[in-house]
């Protein structure tokens, strides 16, 4: 199986699991698929497929100031009432999307050592 075939199957599986979400298990499986697609560095499927095809991927998100402290989720989905921001994969993955207890989980000062 090629990386491209695995990429397409992972996208199909992700779409199915996001439609189900009837159990916590489906959400856990979806998060695992997202990790395979995006997060595992050079082993992740998206960069492999892009490199093989000479393509780039841009994530268009809501250009929203990141509050400090971050509490709860930060909306990323674009909408017509907010400007948008285009990010490369690395920039997208570095962008905070959730805060716990008023802390930004991406802030290295907050992480346990």
What are the pLDDT tens digits along the chain (113 aa)? 888 899 999 999 999 888 876 778 888 888 888 888 887 666 788 888 888 889 988 999 888 777 766 666 777 788 888 899 999 888 888 887 766 665 555 555 544 43
Q: Is the pTM of this model over 0.85?
A: no
Strands 72-73 and 98-99: antiparallel
pLDDT at 104: 56
- pLDDT, position 110: 44
pLDDT of 99 reads: 65
Q: Pick from 40, 91, 98: which is nearest to 70 by CA? A: 98
How many angstroms separate the Cα of 51 from the Cα of each of 11, 46, 92, 105?
A: 18, 9, 18, 30
Report which secondary-structure segment, H or E, holds 59.
strand 59-62
* pLDDT value of residue 10: 92
> Residue 72: in which H helix or E strand, if any?
strand 72-73
* Per-residue confidence (pLDDT) for residue 111, from 0 to 100: 45
């Amino acid at each position: 199986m090629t990386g491209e075939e695995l990429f397409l199957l992972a996208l199909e599986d992700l779409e199915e699991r996001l439609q189900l979400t009837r159990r916590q298990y489906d959400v856990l499986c979806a998060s695992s698929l997202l990790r395979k697609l995006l997060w595992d560095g050079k082993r992740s499927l998206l960069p492999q497929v892009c490199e093989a095809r000479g393509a780039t991927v841009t994530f268009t998100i809501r250009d929203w100031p990141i509050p400090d402290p971050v509490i709860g989720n930060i909306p990323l989905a674009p909408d017509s009432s907010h400007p948008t921001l285009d990010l490369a994969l690395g920039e997208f993955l570095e962008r905070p999307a959730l805060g716990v207890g008023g802390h930004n989980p991406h802030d290295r000062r907050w992480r346990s050592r």
